A and B are shown apart, each in its own frame.
Chain A
Amino acid sequence: MGKQDTYSHISYLEHKGRFKGIMSWLTSTDHKKIGLMYLYAIVVFFFVAAVLGVLMRIEKMNPGPDIMDAQTYNGIFTLHGVIMIFIVVIPGIAAVFGNFFLPIMIGAKDVAFPKLNLFSWYVYIIGAILGVLSQFAGDGPPDTGWTFYVPYAANSSTNVIFALTAAFVLGFSSILTGLNFIVTIHRLRAPGMTFFKMPLFPWSLYATAWIQILATPIVGITLLMVIAERVLHIGFFDPALGGDPLLFQHLFWIYSHPAVYVMILPAMGVVTEIFPTFSQKPVFGYGAIAISSLAIAVVGYFVWGHHMFTTGISYWSRWFFSFLTFIVAVPSAIKVFNWISTMYGGSIQMRPPLLYAISFIFLFLIGGFTGLTLGALATNVHVHDTSFVVAHFHYIIFGGMGFAFFAAMHYWFPKIYGRMYSDKMAYIAWGILFVGFNVLYFPLFILGLQGMPRRYFDYLPEYHNGHLISSIGAFITFTGLILMIGNLIYHRRRGVVAPSNPYQGVTLEWQIESPPTHENFETIPVIQNPPYLFKKTEK
């Protein structure tokens, strides 16, 4: 119902709101600008945490203390975890590309509650600042790890409260984003777009948003309880006061396991968009992919106990959680099968987004299969709390979610900025990144199997080779990251002007101008066909 006379073809980047300059961004309720504000914040924090990661790897290059003492190391891995988990990957794809493309892909002009959307960005920034402040305010950086396990988190003399509050605030922001997305998907789809005519990225965001809404509050109250325990000595978790430390682990993982799906589901959604476009072929098994997103969300909600196999939870409970963990692998495997089938017989165009998407599958599979190793009761006892776990979740989070994030950045870059990046540079960066990633994390699997515990500052000389290789990998990975981001930043203003549909995509975002206008659509499209209908490819 946009009034035709007010529609202007000026791109959203140049759209003039009430203010100019940076204020036009900070006060904008335009979902595209908010998405980009999330992107910039996330990229900055990602690099901060990545540098911390590199510092840890430098420390571990040789046995014994090299560049820091043990307590500093504890602080650094805690901050690395808190930033990466709560500030970077949980909002990650949903807040950046979800905000930018969800309304466009379902044919809407904005999300359902634009002001709430801006508000949740501010909440996010406040939480992020609190997280960083925890390093400087009070009695030294928190040293509990991002998991805040009680009783240690209730007794540690370091500044845990700031970190807890930061995680609480960030969770609130995540809830508001999820709420906004669910309502947007329900209420603002273009006329004719039924749920099963919706592209699959919105589908994955829908499943994600439900997890955000139903899981995040649990960690919110848990963190509040830890704060109360620290401040008021209420005995919830500390056995010295009659509490139950396992209760904390239950409550914490009720959120934090589903949080893994908050990260990975949108990543799956992104690559589901990329495969059909670069194969010029409808996605294989549309319904199966859509439903498997929901299935992952539902089943994934109830598997939290597999983080606790060695803590002494009951036999039946271990059995149950292990069983469900294997079940949740099924919908993920369905997706992988469908992605590969989508490419089969398509006219494949190996552009950078597809390259990242394919490496996503490769790394995600390694992460997924090792996840089953961890989900199996017998093997878990052996590798629990070793660097095997560290390698596993980096393959899922960095190799999976991270690579999908990079894929999304390359895929939608021309739409966001209206410019093209250099393909050649993107290939080179990808090569370095991909090799570096595997050199960095694969040795950790082997070290873990050999018994190298996670979160240790020092190690026995036997593990030296593995750690050395891994540290070299860290430098290669970091170089790749710099090249990749540099390529994008450089071409943001200076690249070749992009056509509105450089990859011959068929979803709605490719039918509008690049960059989109403030109102996205001149007239709201009426949807008649299912998504992913490609014209027969001319050979």
Chain B
Amino acid sequence: MTNTSPGHTHQIDSETGKMGMWLFLFTELFLFGGLFLAYAVLRNTHSEGFHKAAAELDIFIGTINTVVLLMSSMTVAMSITALQKDNKRLAIRLLLATIFLAGVFMVNKYFEWSHKFEHHLWPGSEVYLNLERSEITFYGLYYMMTGLHALHVIIGAILLVVTIFRIKAGVQHSGHYVLLENSALYWHLVDLIWIFLFPLLYLIT
């Protein structure tokens, strides 16, 4: 084990950086974990209303978005392989593909939300507050969970953009790619959370 303090070498070694990222991912998991717990409890109280409200969500859009995120997870994982094999161009292209898929996801999300907004169904609206109480909680959770998740998609995409610039600058290369690994880990987390959100919000009707 090397004992260089990063304060003096200005380069954090890969193991240290990755461990920090994993710990950070745990905090993210628990952040969503709180919401999952709330979902479980509220669903337990309002199972009928949850079924009814969940049936209103568009399974098709949800499935498309799942596929999109899974694919983006693969491209970002492949990008690490590419950089490890010293194929800088392919690595950058794969990252661009990932960002593109993130964009597709967000566009889908936008259509999904705006469709609801057309029906005046946003938290606090009159239609919303006149729903059954169980449906109010379902939509509340739906907006909170997908909204927070979408925020993470945006943050993840920004991280990937930064990574591209670092690869271009040659700071991240086949010998040192901890930033790429970490942003990939973060991106997989976004996928991981969606893997649970999708059945819980869309499928259980």
A–B in direct contact per CB < 8 Å = yes
**Chain A residues, Cβ within 8 Å of B141:** 236
Is there contact, CB below 8 Å, between A242 and B124?
no
Within 8 A of B (CB), among A37-90: none
**Chain B residues, Cβ within 8 Å of A524:** 3
Distance of A221 Cα from B35 Cα, bound (Å) = 7
Tell whether B87 is near chain A: CB-to-CB under 8 Å: no
Is there contact, CB below 8 Å, between B2 and A1?
yes
For B1-42 the 0/1 string (1 means CB < 8 A from A) is 111111110001001100110011011111111110110011
Shortest C-beta distance, B53 to chain A (Å), equals 11
Q: How many residues of A contact B (CB 8 A)?
A: 51
Tell whether A110 is near chain B: CB-to-CB under 8 Å: yes
For B38-53 the 0/1 string (1 means CB < 8 A from A) is 1001100110010000
Tell whether A460 is near chain B: CB-to-CB under 8 Å: no
**Chain B residues, Cβ within 8 Å of A214:** 26-27, 30
Q: Is the interface of B mostly helix, strand, loop or mixed?
A: helix
CB nearest neighbor in A for B122:
A232
Is there contact, CB below 8 Å, between A109 and B42?
no
Distance of A220 Cα from B29 Cα, bound (Å) = 12
Shortest C-beta distance, A121 to chain B (Å), equals 15
Distance of A8 Cα from B187 Cα, bound (Å) = 43
Is there contact, CB below 8 Å, between B3 and A191?
yes
Is there contact, CB below 8 Å, between B31 and A220?
yes
Which of B16, B34, B123, B135 has its CB near the most chain A CB atoms (within 10 A)?
Answer: B34
**Chain B residues, Cβ within 8 Å of A224:** 144, 148
Is there contact, CB below 8 Å, between A108 and B3?
yes
Question: Contacts A29-B7, A110-B7, A244-B42 known; A217 to B144 CB distance under 8 Å?
Answer: no
For A202-216 the 0/1 string (1 means CB < 8 A from B) is 000000000001111
Is there contact, CB below 8 Å, between A113 and B20?
yes
Distance of A234 Cα from B39 Cα, bound (Å) = 13
Query: Which of B1, B23, B45, B129 is the one whose CB lies under 8 Å from A182?
Result: B23
Question: Contacts A214-B30, A221-B35, A251-B37 known; A241 to B20 CB distance under 8 Å?
Answer: no
**Chain A residues, Cβ within 8 Å of B129:** 233, 241
Q: Is the interface of A mostly helix, strand, loop or mixed?
A: helix
**Chain B residues, Cβ within 8 Å of A519:** 8
Is there contact, CB below 8 Å, between B1 and A179?
no
Question: Contacts A109-B7, A221-B31, A234-B144 known; A187 to B26 CB distance under 8 Å?
Answer: no
For A101-133 the 0/1 string (1 means CB < 8 A from B) is 000000111101110100000000000000000
Which of A110, A182, A183 has its CB near the most chain B CB atoms (within 10 A)?
Answer: A183
**Chain B residues, Cβ within 8 Å of A179:** 20, 23-24, 27
Is there contact, CB below 8 Å, between B4 and A247?
no
Tell whether A161 is near chain B: CB-to-CB under 8 Å: no
Tell whether A145 is near chain B: CB-to-CB under 8 Å: no
Distance of A246 Cα from B49 Cα, bound (Å) = 20
Shortest C-beta distance, A506 to chain B (Å), equals 21
CB nearest neighbor in A for B4:
A1
For B110-132 the 0/1 string (1 means CB < 8 A from A) is 00000000000001100011001
Tell whether A228 is near chain B: CB-to-CB under 8 Å: yes
Is there contact, CB below 8 Å, between A213 and B32?
no
Interface positions of B (Cβ within 8 A of A): 1-8, 12, 15-16, 19-20, 23-24, 26-35, 37-38, 41-42, 45-46, 49, 123-124, 128-129, 132-137, 139-141, 143-144, 148
Q: Which 9 A-B pairs have the closest CB atoms?
A: A242-B133, A234-B140, A221-B34, A109-B5, A217-B30, A232-B123, A217-B31, A110-B7, A242-B137
